[in-house]
Structure 1
Amino acid sequence: MARMESIYSREDQVCLIIVMLDNVSHNKMPLEMLRWIQENSYIEYTNDEEGKIMFWERLKWLIQ
């Protein structure tokens, strides 16, 4: 599942962090979200322990 949680402005720069919770096929995504992930980056959440550590480190880095 993918959710667009929030958009906010930081120093005149629009910020959006997309977290992919599940593998979603492109034909099931809203067009706006599909465009965003094709043109920008997103992070994927995982259930394995090493992946979780990397996920949280990357998320912290992205929001700083």
Structure 2
Amino acid sequence: MSRRERRERRAKGPASSAGLLRFYEEESYGFKISPYFVVALTVILMTIVILANVFGPKTITP
């Protein structure tokens, strides 16, 4: 068998992505949170912090 024939018989495609595909196929247990929920929670938390800084107690430093 020539070198060219051996090269043609091999499976083609990126071998490095095979491990990544297997990783994402595994079922994981635990909380499943939507990305939209995370973004909404972040915006709400930022709003609370900004409002607390604006309307919070004003202290005067001597």
Q: TM-score range by the shorter chain?
A: under 0.3
Larger radius of gyration: 2
Q: TM-score, normalised by structure 1?
A: 0.26
Higher normalized contact order (CA 8 Å, seq sep 6+, divided by chain length): 1
